[in-house]
Amino acid sequence: MSISATSGMISNIDYQSLITQLVGIRRQSIQQLSREKSTLESANSAYSTLNSKVLDLKTAADALRTSSGFNVFTATSSDTLLLSATASSSASSGTFNIVVSALAKAHKIAADGVASDTSTVAAGAGSFKFKVGSGTEQSISVDATTTLTGLKDSINALKAGVTASIVNDGSSPNPYRLILTSDSTGTSNAVTITQNDTSLNFATTLQAAQDASFSVDGLSMTRSSNTVSDAITGVTLSLTSADATKTVTLTVARDTSAIKSKISDFVSKYNSVVSAIKANNRYDKTTKTSGAFFGDPVARSIWDDLRRTMTGAVSGLPDTMSRLIHAGISSDTEGVMSVDDSKLSSALSTNFNDVVNLFTEGTTTSGFGKLVYDMANNISDYADGRIKSKQNGLTKNINSLASDITNKETDLTAYETQLRSQFTALETMLAGLQAQGNYLKGL
């Protein structure tokens, strides 16, 4: 005897409705656990976002915690057609007069032409050997089957500082010529053929190897490359054209715009942390829902500690430059900080070293870059940081709830099966009683 989807065949009882309601009552506890699990997952996700923002703050603070972060320079050329330049943190402010007399050039030689790129270039077994400057001699085996293209490919396969190519100069009857070009400029990188058992004659110099020739403030210099990084400390010159009659003025200056950008990024990343905590630390009276951090002491402690640091003073610095406000960085009543560009520019212009001390780690002081870097590092530490510890607890509870939900779902399935079995038994019993009644009526 089975129970129909709507009612029992004998009793006309809506068993399915009864089962649905009874199962629904027991499912309420699972739904409650699911809501708790969802709340914890939301909190865990919010902490992951917060951790990402704290790491961003750590990176921004790292850019300011050492003096090298403030050693940012620009190098400006008065004639970029002749040369350009970049400056590193080891540069110093100054002006230099530079004359570029000659550019460094790569050695380039050409063989006499042959009829086709598939023409054979050797009469028998032998070798084609070459070297670049005083480098190691390179060797290629040739024989009567070696073609112009084959020799080119073999040279290039060595990757030995020489590039081989084939050009068709259009001259009849032998227009195809093998070109060898040194991969590096300068006289010290000239190509020398040391053994040539081919029929090719490299009699044409298309471009002689040449060093760059220039002067800095009247001091004559030569280099094998057009990229020069050892003429002016901390400055890399890129020579692009030569004109011995023109003097280029190169100005190296401190890049205050880049420094201001680093400081603004530092403040912005701090505000992002504050915004992430504030957005999740609210209670909506209308919807009666609370944010992921509402009432959570961990998120609140992170906010409090960072705000206390950012609005405090650096111990050991003069009272005139010990707080961020002295560099034009202020905080509103909500803990959001802003940068007054005019005041920051003035501080960098008139009290540069003091601004550096305000952020960096000194012999006896720890500036805001150092302080916030260390704090952010501790907060986001993967092993035992506050956020990681909080997430470990959340994950443990989430997994526990997930296990409880799974167990209760299994129990609920068994309960539903039991109800169906009991109602089936009831319907079977009613069917038996009905049959007995019908039998007695017939006596």
The per-residue DSSP string of 115-137 comes to: S-TT-B--SSSEEEEEEETTS--
Same domain, 54 and 172: no
Asked if residue 115 has pLDDT above 60, the reply is: yes
Where does the pLDDT of residue 14 fall: very low under 50, low under 70, confident under 90, or very high at 90 and above?
confident
Least confident of 31-35, 195-199, 254-258, 286-290: 286-290
Same domain, 366 and 291: yes
Q: How far apart are CA 243 and CA 215, in angstroms?
A: 12
pTM, full prediction? 0.74
Q: How far apart are CA 88 and CA 68, in angstroms?
A: 10
Q: What is the mean pLDDT of the chain?
A: 93
Same domain, 324 and 438: yes
Same domain, 174 and 289: no
Domain closes at, from 238, 254, 270: 254
Q: Is the preceding peptide bond at 318 cis, omega within 30 degrees of 0?
A: no
- Residue partners of 350: CB distance under 8 A and separation at least 6: none
Same domain, 236 and 196: no
Same domain, 386 and 333: yes
Where does the pLDDT of residue 425 fall: very low under 50, low under 70, confident under 90, or very high at 90 and above?
confident
Asked if residue 3 has pLDDT above 70, the reply is: no
Average pLDDT over residues 306-325: 94
Same domain, 90 and 189: no
Same domain, 286 and 320: yes
Q: How do residues 180-237 score in pLDDT, each as one tens digit?
A: 999 999 999 999 999 999 999 999 999 999 999 999 999 999 999 999 999 999 999 9
Asked if residue 402 has pLDDT above 80, the reply is: yes
Q: What is the pLDDT of residue 44?
A: 92
Same domain, 294 and 370: yes
Same domain, 292 and 263: yes
Furthest C-alpha separation in the chain: 137
Q: Of residues 335 and 155, which shows the higher confidence score? A: 155
Domain closes at, from 221, 239, 254: 254
Q: What is the pLDDT of residue 18?
A: 86
Q: What is the pLDDT of residue 6?
A: 46
> Taking the CB of residue 288, how many other CB atoms lie within 10 A of it?
7
Range(s) of the domain holding residue 196 = 106-207
Q: What is the pLDDT of residue 421?
A: 84
Same domain, 417 and 340: yes
Q: Where are the alpha helices (DSSP H) in 241-367?
A: 256-279, 297-310, 341-350, 352-359
Q: What is the pLDDT of residue 258?
A: 95
Cα torsion 148, 150, 151, 153 to 10°: value is 120
Q: How do residues 16-66 score in pLDDT, each as one tens digit?
A: 888 889 989 988 999 999 989 988 999 999 999 999 999 999 999 999 999
Structural domains of the chain, count:
3
Asked if residue 12 has pLDDT above 80, the reply is: no
Long-range contacts of 403-407 (CB under 8 A, 24+ apart): 404/33, 405/30, 405/33, 405/34, 405/37
Same domain, 56 and 160: no
- Segment of 106-110, 300-304, 409-413 carrying the highest mean pLDDT: 106-110
Q: In this structure, what token pair is assigned to residue 222?
A: 């030569």
- Residue partners of 18: CB distance under 8 A and separation at least 6: 419, 423
Contact between 65 and 359 under an 8 Å Cβ cutoff? The reply is: yes
Count of alpha carbons within 13 angstroms of residue 55, beta-carbon side: 12
CA distances from 181 to 147, 211, 280 (A): 19, 15, 64
